[in-house]
Amino acid sequence: MVAAAERSAQPAAATPARPRSSLGFRYSLPVLLLLAVGFIAPLVAVIAFSFVEPRSFDLWSEPTLANYRTIFEQTYYRSFLWSLAFAALTVVVLAVICYPVAYGLARVFGRWSNLVTLLFVLPLFISENVRLYGWVLFLIKGGVLLGGVKALTGIELTSILFTPPMIVFGMVYVYLPFMLFPMTLGLSMVPREVTEAAFDLGASRAQVFREVELPLAMPGIIIGALLTFVLGVGAIVEAKVLGGQSVIPITHDIEIAFTYAQNWPLGAALSVLLMLVVGVLVLIVLKRFDLDRILGRR
Amino acid sequence: MGMDAQQRRWVKPLIVAWTAAICLFLYMPVAAAALASLSQSRYFTFPVAKWSTVWWGKTFDSIQIRELIETSITIAMLVTAISVVLAFFGALAFARYRWRGRSLYQRLVLLPIFFPQSVLGLALLLWFSALGLTLSWQTAVFAHLVWIVPVATLVIAIQVYSFDPALEEAAADLGASRWQVLKEVTLPVLWPGIFSGALFSFLLSWGNFPLSLFTTGADSTVPEYLYAKMIAGYTPGVPVLGTVSTLGAAVLLLGGYGLITVIRRARGT
């Protein structure tokens, strides 16, 4: 911690503070402008739209709470709960699956870890619906798995496709890199000497994991968990392609309100509630971290 | 120490085996799609009764699909060009300079990344229509930028963190103007980060679905078309186009990474 503080203090000490500070601000302006017009303003528009008369497209009408009333009177809370539960389950499964791989990338693979990283990065750039549809082809009746089993053994199995667990499966599959890479970053922040010292003092593998690795790698793990949770709550394709609409997550309700139902204000109100849940969570977590230390580890 | 070595003896092979299994899991559906694209029958059954490349031919002959690929590439190229410029300065502000409001700026940059993309797409749809804009591939470029510029900023910022500010100061002390310092010192040193940022921008735009879905209007990108066909109207053209888009991303990524490695070796860093 002390070393990190010293390092971050260094550039400030080496350069005269005033001209630098204005330069940093000026360099940030293009990005700030983009985010003001492309991120903040649309969110404000959504919030404004959520107070418009149901089924209206006119932003400049008398504000009303009718949309929120509709949401609380109907069963939308079920979709919310499904979405949150699916996302939470995805985070837990991913944490368990990714830990050994992240440990390997940070500690075991050595010069091979670049190549392994590349293998895990590539799927990020293949559209998620292409990869999910690959699973449909793999798991469907007469597909690679069931067709293969039948050809080899003659046994006909029923497909597990289009059931709620498949939605979690798809989310685990799609969001794996988003857990893996922050976790690897976190684990590579654990100094080797500290683990060695713990072993030398007679700690067991389990003790080292519990008392040394896990706490020190926590910032990375929490960022990974947050990222996968947020993406999971916003997931839209998994439930349609793999879940076969067996469960309706909140993003579907929002999409339906915006498309078939043509009830934009209702969709906006649902989005506002989702944004509240996600936004509060993200702000609480991000506030606690020193980003310079996590990203700028040297 | 003895304890540690003993522990590692069985931990290592397990980790390697587990990682290999996860890798296999990641690429399984990609392989299944490639198989399906080579089947002659209209509906996929396994084992494949008759192999053929007829659907590959049909896909490449289709004018509609060529247009889709063109739209996707145009969007991705524009997004890359704009986001690299914005993210370069954004990353310097993120990691290089200490200034008031920097910590707030850092968190603001992260927010669009930690945000459900489908909701962002819808929010942009609302915003565009409130402004009276007609949706087309141009509005999709803007939508992609809102998400991709922050990602590229982070990617470049990681390189900026390992950048030694003394280099810039030495050049300035020798009488270089700020523009010269930027061009002759900062840009060349940060080049690998900028290149990765560009690669990420292109590939993320190429594969993006949730933002395109709500912001392209009458135009369509490859992922959107594939989605529509998956929901209704499957032909083996779907896995063909999916495989093509996968192979394209793989070639770009491996080629780009190879290029960085070669240049780094040549520079001796």
Average pLDDT (B1-10) is: 57
Per the CB < 8 Å rule, is A101 touching B107? no
Return d(Cα A264, Cα B54) in angstroms, integer: 44
Domains of chain A from N-terminus onward: 75-295 (1.10.3720.10)
- At residue B164, the pLDDT reads 81
Task: Quickly tell me which residue has 């006909």 as its tokens.
Answer: A156
What is the token pair recorded at B245? 């888009």
Q: How many residues comprise chain B? A: 269
**CB-CB neighbors (< 8 A) of A83 in chain B:** none
pLDDT band at A13 (very low <50, low <70, confident <90, very high): very low
> Above 70 in pLDDT, residue B49?
yes
Per the CB < 8 Å rule, is B169 touching A133? no
- At residue B127, the pLDDT reads 93
pLDDT band at A209 (very low <50, low <70, confident <90, very high): confident
Give pLDDT tens digits for B70-79: 999 999 999 9
- At residue A147, the pLDDT reads 85
Closest of B92, B261, B142, B251 to residue A114, by C-alpha: B261
Q: What is the mean pLDDT of chain B?
A: 87
Per the CB < 8 Å rule, is A148 touching B230? no
> Above 80 in pLDDT, residue B82?
yes
Return d(Cα B209, Cα B226) in angstroms, integer: 10
Average pLDDT (A133-138) is: 88
pLDDT top residue among B151 and B4? B151
**CB-CB neighbors (< 8 A) of B78 in chain A:** none
**CB-CB neighbors (< 8 A) of B55 in chain A:** none
Q: What is the mean pLDDT of chain A?
A: 84
Give pLDDT tens digits for A52-99: 888 877 777 778 888 899 888 888 888 999 999 999 999 999 999 999
Task: Quickly tell me which residue has 């690795």 as its tokens.
Answer: A213
A68 to chain B, minimum CA–CA distance in Å?
17
Closest of A291, A25, A297, A20 to residue B93, by C-alpha: A25
Return d(Cα A125, Cα A138) in angstroms, integer: 20
- At residue A16, the pLDDT reads 45
Return d(Cα B252, Cα B198) in angstroms, integer: 11
End-to-end CA distance of chain B, in Å? 34
Q: Which residue of A has its CA nearest to B250?
A: A122
> Above 60 in pLDDT, residue B199?
yes
The secondary structure of chain A, three-state, reads CHHHHHHHHHHHHHCCHHHHHHHHHHHHHHHHHHHHHHHHHHHHHHHHHCCCCCCCCCCCCCCCCHHHHHHHHCCHHHHHHHHHHHHHHHHHHHHHHHHHHHHHHHHHCHHHHHHHHHHHHHHHHCCHHHHHHHHHHHHCCCCHHHHHHHHHHCCCCCCCCCCHHHHHHHHHHHHHHHHHHHHHHHHCCCCHHHHHHHHHCCCCHHHHHHHHHHHHHHHHHHHHHHHHHHHHHCCCHHHHHCCCCCCCCHHHHHHHHHCCCCCHHHHHHHHHHHHHHHHHHHHHHHHCCCHHHHHCCC
- At residue B140, the pLDDT reads 96
Average pLDDT (A239-260) is: 86
Residues 6+ apart with CB under 8 A from A1: none
Give pLDDT tens digits for B225-246: 988 888 877 888 888 888 988 8
Q: Which of B107, B210, B230 sits opposite A286 (nearest CB)?
A: B107
Q: Which of A108, A205, A264 sits opposite B126 (nearest CB)?
A: A264
Average pLDDT (A238-254) is: 85
Look at residue B222 and give its three-state secondary structure.
helix
- Kindly state whether B258 is in contact with chain A, defined as any CB-CB distance less than 8 angstroms: no
Q: What are phi and psi of A14, to 5 degrees?
A: -75, -20
Residues 6+ apart with CB under 8 A from A58: A52
Residues 6+ apart with CB under 8 A from B202: B76, B77, B79, B80, B252
End-to-end CA distance of chain A, in Å? 12
Average pLDDT (B170-175) is: 88
Return d(Cα B264, Cα B269) in angstroms, integer: 6
Average pLDDT (B18-41) is: 90
What percent of chain B has pLDDT above 70? 96
Domains of chain B from N-terminus onward: 67-267 (1.10.3720.10)
CA A131 from centre of chain: 17
B158 to chain A, minimum CA–CA distance in Å?
6
Buried b (16+ CB within 10 A) or exposed e, A86-124: bbbbbbebbbebbbbbbbbbbbbbeeebeebbeebbbbb
B187 to chain A, minimum CA–CA distance in Å?
14
- At residue B105, the pLDDT reads 94
Residues 6+ apart with CB under 8 A from B190: B88, B91, B156, B159, B160, B163
Average pLDDT (A117-129) is: 86
pLDDT band at B56 (very low <50, low <70, confident <90, very high): confident
Q: Which of B33, B114, B253 sits opposite A226 (nearest CB)?
A: B114
What is the token pair recorded at B114? 């930690």
Closest of B97, B84, B204 to residue B149, by C-alpha: B84
Average pLDDT (B203-208) is: 90
Give pLDDT tens digits for A160-192: 888 888 999 999 999 999 899 889 988 887 888
- Kindly state whether B153 is in contact with chain A, defined as any CB-CB distance less than 8 angstroms: yes
Contact B115, A278 (CB under 8 A): yes
> Above 50 in pLDDT, residue B2?
no
Per the CB < 8 Å rule, is A286 touching B110? yes
Q: Cis omega (within 30 of 0) on the bond before B116?
A: no
Q: Which of B105, B119, B206 sits opposite A275 (nearest CB)?
A: B119
For residue B69, what are the CA distances in angstroms to A77, A132, A201, A241? 40, 20, 60, 23
Return d(Cα A257, Cα B101) in angstroms, integer: 38
Q: How many residues comprise chain A? A: 298
Give pLDDT tens digits for B214-225: 999 889 999 999
- At residue A1, the pLDDT reads 37
Contact B93, B102 (CB under 8 A): yes
Return d(Cα A217, Cα B225) in angstroms, integer: 41
- Phi/psi zone of residue B45: left (φ > 0), alpha (ψ -120 to 50 degrees), beta? beta
